[in-house]
Amino acid sequence: MKIAPKILLIVYFLLSNFVYANDEPVVFQNRDLEERYYLLIEEVRCLVCQNQSLADSNAPLAQDLRNEIFKMIQINKSNTEIMEFLVKRYGDFVLYRPPLKKNTWLLWFGPFLFLIVAFFVTVLIIKKQSGETQVNK
Amino acid sequence: MMRYLFPLVIFAGLTTLFIFGLQNDPRYVPSPLINKAAPEFTLPTLHKPDQNISINELKGKISLINVWASWCAACRIEHPLLNNYTKKYQLNLYGLNYKDKRSHALQWLENLGNPYIESAYDEIGTVGIDYGVYGVPETFILDKKGIIRYKHIGPIDDEQFSRIIMPLITKLKQDQYP
């Protein structure tokens, strides 16, 4: 390898650093706050790219909201307060764990409902089949 | 008979469910701000950085807040329609210029026309967060008391304007609330 391509490569990697460093670095006073921050941004959905959390997303809105969460942690807001702040503005949709409410009842208990229905259908089929085999005898 | 009918009924049921499900727009997230007081703000205006505009200026009349930015492609589609509506109807349309460069935004209005009574300049997007903005353009309709009655996400088109927005404004003018 000649020297020119090597230099180009080095320049390329140096530049690519700038491309990805679009977030302000987050520095916390202690470990607890840092852990809370990373936990919270995993729990919140990004509204621009809906299948990503704030932690995953590179959307400008996700950056702003991460920043907002960071600031709230700095001024000693509790997790509940931070979540309330977000829900007040964007609705329950931002939460990856939807709260138990009247309109989320089906979401939470629907699977169990299906399980119960499936159970009775299975019992019915088994009963019917065992009846048939007895008749065949 | 029952044996064949049962799967058929389940199939038909699921199909209807999916057909209805597919018609929903997954990007549409209902706003929790509907029927709540519009969040307070005081921001510099786009045209005069040393002058402020606050939510109080919008109270006492039916007003619309359109969130826009010069970097937003869908806003470009919506813009001529807004020009048209404000010419045709008596609309109190305000702009919230969201995370934009002032010079770009001013150039945009210069080139495409300015349908807004005034645009507030939300440079870092904090007011946008208070209003739960996630997909520019967005349009809020406020009643006389400054309560948000409707939020439109994405560019408005003629059909939605005449079917939803204009009738709502007429209703609100007569002090009828949905």
Asked if A46 and A106 sit in the same domain, the reply is no
At residue A21, the pLDDT reads 44
What's the burial of A61, exposed, middle or buried (CB within 10 Å: 0-12/13-18/19+)? buried
What is the average pLDDT across B68-88?
95
User: B156: buried, middle or exposed (CB in 10 Å: 19+, 13-18, 0-12)?
Assistant: buried
A122 pLDDT above the threshold of 50? yes
Residue A77 belongs to a domain: yes
Residue B27 lies in a domain: no
Question: A114 with A95, same domain?
Answer: no
Over 70: is that where the pLDDT of A134 sits?
no
In a domain, B11, yes or no: no
A49 belongs to a structural domain: yes
Asked whether the beta carbons of B98 and B159 are under 8 A apart, the reply is: no
pLDDT tens-digit map of B110-162: 999 999 999 999 999 999 999 999 989 999 999 999 999 999 999 999 999 99
Task: CATH number of the domain at A85, please.
Answer: 1.10.8.640
In A, minimum Cα distance to B127 occurs at A89
Residue A126's domain comprises 102-137
Q: How many CA atoms lie within 13 A of A64 on its CB side?
A: 20
Q: In this structure, are A84 and A135 located in the same domain?
A: no
Task: Compute the distance between CA of residue B169 and CA of residue B156 in angstroms, rounded to an integer.
Answer: 15
Angle at A66 between CA B156 and CA B24, to 5 degrees: 35
Question: Is B27's Cβ below 8 Å from some Cβ in A?
Answer: yes
Angstrom distance (rounded) from CA B134 to CA B154:
10
Kindly list the residues from chain A whose CB atom is less than 8 angstroms away from the CB atom of residue B74: none
Q: How many residues does chain B have?
A: 178
Indicate whether A136 and A80 sit together in one domain: no
Tell me the β-bridge partners of A95. A44
Within-domain flag for A16: no
Q: Average pLDDT in the B69-87 region?
A: 95
Between A14-23, A111-120, B148-157, B163-172, the lowest mean confidence (pLDDT) is in A14-23
A-facing residues of B in 42-101 (CB < 8 A) are 99
Instruction: Please state, rounded to an integer, the average pLDDT across all residues of chain B.
Output: 93
- Domain range for B125: 35-173
Task: Kindly state the average pLDDT of the residues A97-101.
Answer: 85
Query: Residue A92 to residues A33, A85, B89, B168: CA-CA distances in angstroms?
Result: 24, 11, 36, 26
Q: Assess whether A43 and A63 both reside in one domain.
A: yes
CATH number of residue B55's parent domain: 3.40.30.10
How many helices (H) and strands (E) would you count in chain B? 6, 7
Q: Is residue A9 part of a domain?
A: no
Instruction: With respect to residue A30, please indicate whether it lies within any of the assigned structural domains.
Output: yes
pLDDT at B41: 95
Q: Based on the structure, what is the number of domains in chain B? A: 1
- Residue the block writes with tokens 């305000």: B94
Q: How far apart are CA B166 and CA B85, in angstroms?
A: 10
Banded pLDDT at B19 (limits 50, 70, 90) = very high
Q: Is A68 on the interface with B (CB under 8 A)?
A: yes
Q: How far apart are CA A109 and CA A106, in angstroms?
A: 5
Both tokens assigned to B61: 């009349």
Give CA–CA dist B82/B157, Å, rounded. 10
pLDDT averaged over every residue in chain A:
85
* Residues A47, B125: C-beta atoms closer than 8 Å: no
ipTM of the complex: 0.82
Across A41-50, A66-75, B26-35, which has the greatest mean pLDDT? A66-75
pLDDT of residue B124: 92
Residues A28 and A95 in one domain: yes
What confidence tens digit (pLDDT) does each residue in A18-57 have?
544 456 677 888 888 999 999 999 999 998 887 899 999 8
